Structure 1
């Protein structure tokens, strides 16, 4: 095994091809690639771009651009070449053969970041499965690019499997990981069922990476999870409880950030985690309004929500970072939305109110009279329903309560039977 000594910061050259996209979209894509490299502790020292109708089958970029790349490499001390696309095994091999440098494509870079971020056992297994799925067809001819262990961008892989191991070994390891994940998925499913039995209302925060999802979770639930101004700062999902203005307790889940062209191997490996979205009663779609490319980010997240069969779940679009809003920002969608700064308490209060109003659209109205000794049921109403009116009648010594409840829960059925008005379903917009 050949070992390579790595500098603390790895020097990187970016390579991108512009095909059908416009200049602004392509520039934003290259800027995002630079941010990904910086997240992976790399330093961009040069960029090579080219406009083409389609990729060059052998080297992705044209022969002339490969020569230009070689000149840049000769002039600078570069460790790694990062392409802004997913390359075929032969393209990686050919570019490596020409340049004698480590060649990483966008997919492997994202996988590398995920590997460095995973903290939980489930997260680590999911990332390793995604990496092995990516590496399996790329074993042959990788040379130096895949012979590294330890440091460097693209080397955060499953070290104990040895990247140059034969396909049989990797397939065997993939089967082992899938078996271990089945147990974890079973535990997650049982946890979901317990939440359903407890009539817990679930809100999932989704959005592009670095949109501010964890910050919103922390401010709403008054907890302290990791917040960083970096891509994919949060990888392992987090669920916390918080109270709506009415006092109703709901569960708020933070999810892994999405990104344009999220590797299919990652989507497949993290499907069990992403399926949390399907169990949610409401999606908070957080959009970074300070990012010039916010419209593309919003479209990307919507496409992934649709891919996960969650597009029918009600959504509230939260345009975050209003204090840094881009000059050209203008919301162009038809869904309900709100503009906030996660650091402004008044904005957070408005967000809580907006969440409550969106949840009421899925709930049924009730009106019950409770005896003084029915304190347990009164407590359930306060925690699991949205109470709009509560009076204590001195003469009859009864509580009179009006509010909204999830009709399909056990509490909803109980209140529907006891209701002194005809329970009606609040109108939900088609």
Structure 2
């Protein structure tokens, strides 16, 4: 349900206004959560590079304004660099999206103030040419940092106001140069904001398409898993079906060979089930099968594979099982089904649903095959049926049942 609502919200965003840089609250929260870590890393890397370049402008300071070089060093290295690195550290450690954008935007404004202070401190000829480089600070915030558009607008506007406040009263700078510099800075701010807007819009649109496909892929994966599960599960009893049994048996057989373990197999058949179906009808027969299957599952180990082969025939595959343990497990299953006391008036008014069980246990070798195990258990089942039903017969390695291992002769339907 959550994914359904999210998918609907994503589709609404894609179908809605394409110029808006803000999603609905649930999609916006998902967008920030999914992009925050990588965005913070990218901004920190951009900040480090920008800090290095900003400090390299000391070379320019030394060349243009040697009389104010000491001030430039103090402001760039003593103020801007510590402030910028502190911001980058906080962003790297992880802060909220609002605080992240605010902190990074603040570095743009502070860098503008520091540059303007250095500019105002000097009266050296042509030092005012620095003003033309102030637009680079706007480019850093709008393009290199790629601040969210609203923060980019705010930091750009604040920086331009600061530049105007320092440049307009600066007497050594010719009016014509001031006019050109201010026009250039404003143009750079506008152009970079347009690029910033397009970058963020593109990022958001791409994110919506990717998120939409991820959600759909999740549905496809869930559907495929469901179909795969259905293909190996008996729909009536929710037990494994013949397909799953045929796939698992060779795998466990090989594991038993590699680990030197024994394997046990029970073949279980409901006694006189045709008579039950004929008397009660197939819908009631299905309910009976479900009850019997549940009893088998509840009385088997978690590691055992309980399978409905078809009709009223079931198997239980046991790994690392001795003859004694398998026989005990078979008796537990036989007794639990007899204890259900499901009447079978199709046989007689005293009859109840019971099962016959053929059991085979052997240690797999390369000379034997899984079919040998199944055939031995099947022959043992036939013997249990022949000797009166509601019984367990244990097959020996040759496949003939052992007389000493029979159990559970109560309530035989042959009476």
Q: Fold match, TM over 0.5?
A: no
Higher strand fraction: Structure 1 or Structure 2? 1
The structure that has the greater radius of gyration is 2
- Structure-1-length-normalised TM-score: 0.21
Higher helix fraction: Structure 1 or Structure 2? 2
